[in-house]
């Protein structure tokens, strides 16, 4: 490949390859000293996933486990881990950009060996991608390198527009000059350099179509916002990009989703991280992200605070969707999460369970894009009517 590679990529490659080499060199050195080769890896189990109250983050706890080459039960996993590390290392030094699917394919083969009774046996390195993905996670927690640090790419859905300039690769990109289109966020958002920004907050919209509408109507220009869509459940790059805008530029982050447990979970992933992948949260989550709506009190009002609903009786009749059984079940699950046990969230989930009603953002644009853009969002922002 003779096309010039971006200088940031070359630097990132060297760093990751060096860390990977060092961490696995320790194993080799152990062998040289006549010791049993083993890997000590942080546990990624639910019982070792801790919610840090102060930082408002899901994090890996202190538990570790040993993966030893000489333990029969662990030998296969040990081999898989070393195999994965070597595939990634090779990709790094060969200027490759593998995906997790590639890593699965690259490692997939059948090993023939003689067992202790001399019989020839066959074993696959791994059968399903689920298995190689799990091994990759072990490599991530063992080295402290996220996959993005190792130039492992993935598909991306996140888009952004707003009055800011960034450097990505060797280009400077003006995110306020995207016309009717948008900038599709890269899979390695840590390599983006923020050059300058002229905005007061970040609005993340769950739905791509609503993002298109707000963008086209000039929302971000008029209200000095960085406008982002996650196009559904956010991917890692979108989460990391949002976190960096918050942490490094000090921009408050507001998340706009449908009024249903699925929308709440999207907010939760942005804010707290995903439960099964808590080791990423430390870099991917935005602990002070706010849920701006659509909230149940937006739909029904709140007698306790005197808040009036944004929808009329007739609009509620036309727009509300009856909650499904799975929605109810999901809402009850969310109630168990510590970060949903605040007074505001209790009220929100309580109304949902009583009314068994949900609402899409599009019901608000159904009332008029002007309503969403110039009434609903500005009022919510001005009165501080958000959760989180």
Q: Which stretch binds a copy of itself (CB under 8 A): 43-51, 216-224, 254-262, 345-353?
A: 216-224
**Binding track, positions 6-45, relative to a copy of itself; x by CB under 8 A:** x--x------------------------------------
322 binds a copy of itself (CB under 8 A): no
Q: At 200, is the secondary structure helix, strand, or coil?
A: coil
> Cβ(79)–Cβ(38) under 8 Å?
no
Write out the binding residues for a copy of itself, residues 230-249 only, by CB under 8 A: 231
Write out the binding residues for a copy of itself, residues 340-379 only, by CB under 8 A: 360, 362-363, 365-370, 373-374
Instruction: Select 30 or 217, whichever has its Cβ closest to a copy of itself.
Output: 217
Q: Which stretch binds a copy of itself (CB under 8 A): 2-10, 65-73, 247-255, 330-338?
A: 2-10
314 binds a copy of itself (CB under 8 A): yes
Cβ at position 355, least distance to a copy of itself in Å? 19
Judging by beta carbons within 10 Å of its beta carbon (0-12, 13-18, 19+), is residue 144 exposed, middle or buried? exposed
Judging by beta carbons within 10 Å of its beta carbon (0-12, 13-18, 19+), is residue 146 exposed, middle or buried? buried
Of positions 318, 326, 342, 379, contacts a copy of itself by CB under 8 A:
318
Instruction: Characterize 177-198 residue by residue with b for buried, 16 or more Cβ atoms within 10 angstroms of its Cβ, and e for exposed.
Output: ebeeebbebbbbbebbeeeebe
Both structure tokens of 331:
């809402």
192 binds a copy of itself (CB under 8 A): yes
Write out the binding residues for a copy of itself, residues 75-134 only, by CB under 8 A: 94-99, 101-102, 104-106, 108-110
Of positions 17, 164, 191, 323, contacts a copy of itself by CB under 8 A:
191
Cβ at position 80, least distance to a copy of itself in Å? 15
Q: Kindly report the length of the chain.
A: 388
Instruction: Select 83 or 191, whichever has its Cβ closest to a copy of itself.
Output: 191
> Cβ(294)–Cβ(259) under 8 Å?
yes
Q: Does residue 294 have a cis peptide bond before it, meaning omega lies within 30 degrees of 0?
A: yes
Q: Using CA atoms, how far apart are residues 244 and 13, in angstroms rounded to an integer? A: 21
Write out the binding residues for a copy of itself, residues 148-187 only, by CB under 8 A: 153-157, 159, 166-173, 177-187
316 binds a copy of itself (CB under 8 A): no
Told to judge if 105 belongs to the known catalytic residues of this protein, a careful annotator would answer yes
Cα angle 339, 227, 307 (rounded to 5 degrees) comes to 55
The residue behind tokens 């760093």 is 15
Tell me the number of residues near a copy of itself by CB under 8 A.
77
Q: Which stretch binds a copy of itself (CB under 8 A): 25-33, 47-55, 211-219, 270-278?
A: 211-219
> Cβ(81)–Cβ(138) under 8 Å?
yes
Cβ at position 104, least distance to a copy of itself in Å? 8
Bridge partner residues of 93 (DSSP): none
Q: Which of the residues 104, 105, 183, 265 is marked catalytic? A: 105
- Number of alpha carbons in the 13 Å side-chain half-sphere of residue 209: 9
Cβ at position 295, least distance to a copy of itself in Å? 19
> Cβ(327)–Cβ(260) under 8 Å?
yes
The dihedral through the CA atoms of 229, 212, 292, 193 has a sign that is positive
Instruction: Select 156 or 298, whichever has its Cβ closest to a copy of itself.
Output: 156
Q: Using CA atoms, how far apart are residues 352 and 323, in angstroms rounded to an integer? A: 8
Catalytic residues: 105
């Amino acid at each position: 490949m003779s096309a010039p590679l971006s200088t940031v990529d070359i630097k990132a490659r060297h760093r990751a390859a060096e860390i990977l080499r060092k961490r696995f060199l320790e194993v080799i050195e152990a062998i040289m000293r006549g010791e049993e080769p083993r890997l000590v890896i942080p546990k990624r189990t639910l019982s070792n996933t801790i919610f840090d109250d102060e930082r408002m983050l899901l994090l890996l706890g202190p538990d570790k486990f040993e993966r030893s080459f000489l333990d029969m039960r662990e030998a296969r996993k040990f081999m898989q881990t070393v195999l994965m590390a070597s595939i990634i290392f090779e990709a790094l030094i060969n200027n490759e950009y593998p995906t997790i699917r590639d890593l699965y394919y690259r490692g997939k083969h059948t090993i023939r060996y003689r067992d202790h009774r001399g019989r020839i046996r066959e074993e696959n390195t791994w059968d399903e991608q689920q298995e190689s993905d799990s091994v990759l996670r072990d490599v991530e927690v063992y080295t402290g390198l996220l996959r993005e640090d190792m130039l492992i790419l993935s598909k991306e859905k996140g888009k952004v527009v707003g009055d800011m300039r960034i450097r990505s690769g060797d280009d400077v990109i003006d995110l306020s000059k995207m016309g009717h289109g948008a900038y599709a966020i890269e899979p390695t958002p840590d390599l983006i350099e923020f050059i300058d920004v002229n905005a007061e907050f970040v609005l993340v919209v769950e739905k791509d179509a609503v993002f298109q509408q707000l963008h086209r109507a000039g929302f971000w220009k008029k209200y000095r916002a960085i406008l982002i869509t996650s196009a559904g459940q956010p991917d890692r790059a979108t989460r990391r990009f949002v976190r960096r805008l918050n942490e490094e530029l000090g921009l408050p982050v507001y998340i706009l989703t449908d009024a249903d447990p699925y929308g709440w979970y999207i907010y939760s992933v942005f804010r707290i991280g995903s439960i099964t992948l808590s080791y990423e949260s430390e870099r991917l989550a935005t602990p002070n992200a706010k849920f701006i709506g659509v909230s149940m009190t937006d739909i029904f009002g709140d007698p306790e605070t005197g808040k009036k609903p944004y929808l009329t009786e007739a609009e509620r009749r036309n727009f509300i969707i009856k909650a499904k059984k799975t929605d109810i079940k999901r809402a009850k699950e969310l109630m168990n999460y510590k970060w949903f046990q605040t007074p505001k969230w209790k009220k929100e989930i309580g109304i949902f369970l009583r009314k068994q009603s949900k609402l899409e953002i599009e019901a608000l644009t159904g009332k008029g894009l002007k309503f969403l853009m110039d009434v609903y969002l500005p009022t919510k922002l001005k009165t501080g009517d958000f959760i989180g």
